[in-house]
Structure 1
Amino acid sequence: MPDPREARLRLLRSGNIGPVTYRQLTARFGSAEEAIEALPMLAARGGGRAPRIADADAVRREIATVEKLGAQYLFLGDADYPAMLAETESAPPALILRGEVALLARSCVAMVGARNASAAACRFARQLALGLADSGVTVVSGLARGIDTAAHIGSIEGGTVGVIASGIDIGFPPENRDLQERVATEGLLLAEQPPGTEPLARFFPSRNRIIAGLALGTVVVEAAPRSGSLITARLAAEAGREVMAVPGSPLDPRAQGCNLLIREGATLVQSVDDILEAIRPIDARVVRSPASGWDGPPPEDASDTERRAIAGLLGPVPVAVDELIRQSGLAPPAVQTVLLELELGGRLERHAGGRVSLR
């Protein structure tokens, strides 16, 4: 009997296939196998070449490597897939993990901050993480230097999840390899990239959206104004989650990002109780059940006239898909189809917040 993971991974590892595209394709065609067969036709309609389709043998080797590493796959729609992450637009179709999956079923709070954090901020982050874990909350972070490290150390005995930008077998940064292994054995380690993938810069924003997506809220402890931690906070806000920040001295550049978040409406955090109070309304409305895939109308065939209309509204500046639907006057399934075809043809790029642009 064929391994059902193979077709899903072949589709996901094929060219021009992102999380949104994957979900739309499986919603339209009913299975990964049927979607793979349709890729050349859809790409041709989008005016591009057929995307590279992942080799079946390569996918089998990946599965064997994951199993050899003592890891496992978690697919969108599986019973253990975290409900909070499944709610997000760009939920990963597949995660690779090592450790205690049950930690994802608990309420989660993300904690992020400066890599070059002050000693005082690291100490406070450890205290917050310990308090959250003692309260039954899972602490999620990215295993980076500074605040991430402090958050994992503080919560590791009570429940921590580390999300990495590399393959599940790559330790990064080097000084955190032992901590990463400890998270994998005592907590939970998550990766979206296949084994052997080095932590390239482009993978970190993807990692950040998983951190934000898993959590009821994100706490920022020290962050410069252009910090990647602020990107995580923005992603949390876009997903309808709570954004929290620890205030700091206006004389310390590492506190400017947190103070800016507070000025813009983030919840000021001075204790664990502040965090628990802030996430309580979100936690109360969460329905903890497995999500399927695409939650919008399945894409359907579009006419040549509709394709031209949508293409004419697109340009290099990102625009919201909802705006395209309004301006074109076309049905959402038709608009989604045209965007899907353009993306498979290599002509469309998707951005955060449901926006798209031409490449």
Structure 2
Amino acid sequence: MAEAEDTVARLRLIRSPRIGPVTYRQLIARFGSAEAALDALPALAGRGGGAAPAIADAGSVRREMAAAAKLGAHYLFLGDTHYPPLLAELENAPAAMLVRGDPALTRRTCVAMVGARNASAAACRFARQIAQGLASEGVTVVSGLARGIDTAAHLGSIGEATVGVIASGIDIAFPPENRDLQERVATEGLLIAEQPPGTEPLARHFPSRNRIIAGLAQGTVVVEAAPRSGSLITARIAAEAGREVMAVPGSPLDPRAQGCNLLIREGATLIQNVEDILEAIRPIDARAVRAPATPYAGEPGGEPGMSERRRVEGLLGPVPVAVDELIRQAELPAAMVQLVLLELELGGRLERHAGGRVSLA
């Protein structure tokens, strides 16, 4: 298959309803190519007890590809040589991302910096200085191009090594006042978007953006954050992925410092300078980064019969449960359980949740 046609097939699979990052990875691992996975969708959904998902139109995908090319962006697919290795370790790593700039920046030591949008002037100055210090040490600074701490982090590392991850299409700047900064990140660093061109930054896209920020980095630094904020979501994702979580302490009288102080109380590394960050991430050896295992590689199990499907489905309910727990209680090969879950999801009867948990829709 020509490379362009393979790209069309991959994007059709990714843009189809019910095909999330986990499902995409499992389909490619099982069928070997996007084209074969597309052909298998109706049968899989039928065994899952539902109608086959509507498959994204090839024409709309080609129009998306043309728009991306016009913007000077190109795709990074999961499994590609230049796909960020640490990000690929996440179970729900993006199947495809649009990028502008130098993808090699993600193969260096990366540290994420996040924090409050309404950050204090002192915190913004501190974040800018820390980012500048990290970049001068050869560390890539990753942030989300939001107001406040994100902006300060990019301003400190621009021209050295900065990566911006946005929740919109790669052609949409949010907030609008960061349009020039976003363009500088794209031309002097690396700009990443998971959403197709033209997508506005909706609220549901920001948690997905946050997982990319955390997934790219060996550690995440939080500088000012409210107890219930996107910055703490990013820190939680980093912790779940086994990455270092670091926080800058603040006054207990400032609500913007409560999130950071809470993280420190819960075990995050207290950060006061660049040296503290470098010391925290130093034990991680980049040579230890490995390609993520696929759900089906080398696993026995074969095709599940009706009794195996009933056993797995009987263990599911409206309350999310970890897939590992399902495998243990079903007493079936992991690959077989994963296939049943895949069929149920494609049939519209399964929902996936954070932390590798699933429930009946």
With structure 1 as the length reference, what TM-score do the two structures score? 0.97
Distance 1:206 1:261, change over 3 A: same
How many pairs does the alignment contain?
A: 357
Other-structure match for 1:354: 356
Report the Cα distance in structure 2 between the residues aligned to 1:202 and 1:97, rounded to whole angstroms.
Answer: 21
Question: CA offsets, 1:299-339, max 9 Å, x none?
Answer: 85211111111111111211100000111111101110111
Question: CA offsets, 1:21-43, max 9 Å, x none?
Answer: 00110111111101000101111
Other-structure match for 1:339: 341
Q: Secondary structure at the match of 2:283?
A: helix
Question: CA offsets, 1:166-206, max 9 Å, x none?
Answer: 11011111111111111111111000111111111111100
Question: CA offsets, 1:125-157, max 9 Å, x none?
Answer: 001100000000000000111100100001112
Q: Secondary structure at the match of 2:214?
A: helix
Correspondence 1:147 to 2:144: no
> What amino acid does structure 2 have at the position aligned with 1:249?
S
Other-structure match for 1:269: 271
Q: 1:285-300, aligned counterparts within 5 Å?
A: 285-287=286-288, 291=291, 294=294, 296-297=296-297, 300=302
2:140 to 128, 138, 141: 138
User: In the alignment, is the contact (CA less than 8 A) between 1:50 and 1:345 conserved in 2?
Assistant: yes
> What amino acid does structure 2 have at the position aligned with 1:213?
G
> What amino acid does structure 1 have at the position aligned with 2:86?
M
> What amino acid does structure 2 have at the position aligned with 1:179?
L
Deviation at 1:288, TM superposition (A): 5.3
User: In the alignment, is the contact (CA less than 8 A) between 2:48 and 2:347 conserved in 1?
Assistant: yes
Deviation beyond 3 Å, 4+ runs, structure 1: 285-289, 295-300
Seq. identity, %: 76
Report the Cα distance in structure 1 between the residues aligned to 2:341 and 2:292, rounded to whole angstroms.
Answer: 21
Name stretches of at least 5 consecutive residues in structure 2 with no aligned partner. Answer: none
Correspondence 1:196 to 2:176: no
Report the Cα distance in structure 1 between the residues aligned to 2:186 and 2:310, rounded to whole angstroms.
Answer: 50
Other-structure match for 2:11: 9
> What amino acid does structure 2 have at the position aligned with 1:58?
S
Q: Secondary structure at the match of 1:220?
A: strand
1:227 to 229, 234, 239: 229
User: In the alignment, is the contact (CA less than 8 A) between 1:315 and 1:358 conserved in 2?
Assistant: yes
User: In the alignment, is the contact (CA less than 8 A) between 2:50 and 2:348 conserved in 1?
Assistant: yes
Other-structure match for 2:32: 30
Report the Cα distance in structure 2 between the residues aligned to 1:249 and 1:349, rounded to whole angstroms.
Answer: 41
RMSD across aligned positions (CA): 1.4
Report the Cα distance in structure 2 between the residues aligned to 1:152 and 1:111, rounded to whole angstroms.
Answer: 9
Distance 1:53 1:78, change over 3 A: same
Report the Cα distance in structure 2 between the residues aligned to 1:300 and 1:11, rounded to whole angstroms.
Answer: 24
Report the Cα distance in structure 2 between the residues aligned to 1:293 and 1:152, rounded to whole angstroms.
Answer: 33
Other-structure match for 2:323: 321
Other-structure match for 1:310: 312
Other-structure match for 2:303: 301
> What amino acid does structure 2 have at the position aligned with 1:254?
R
User: In the alignment, is the contact (CA less than 8 A) between 2:105 and 2:190 conserved in 1?
Assistant: yes
Distance 1:293 1:70, change over 3 A: farther
Report the Cα distance in structure 2 between the residues aligned to 1:73 and 1:43, rounded to whole angstroms.
Answer: 28
Q: 1:74-85, aligned counterparts within 5 Å?
A: 74-85=76-87
1:96 to 95, 98, 102: 98
> What amino acid does structure 2 have at the position aligned with 1:65?
A
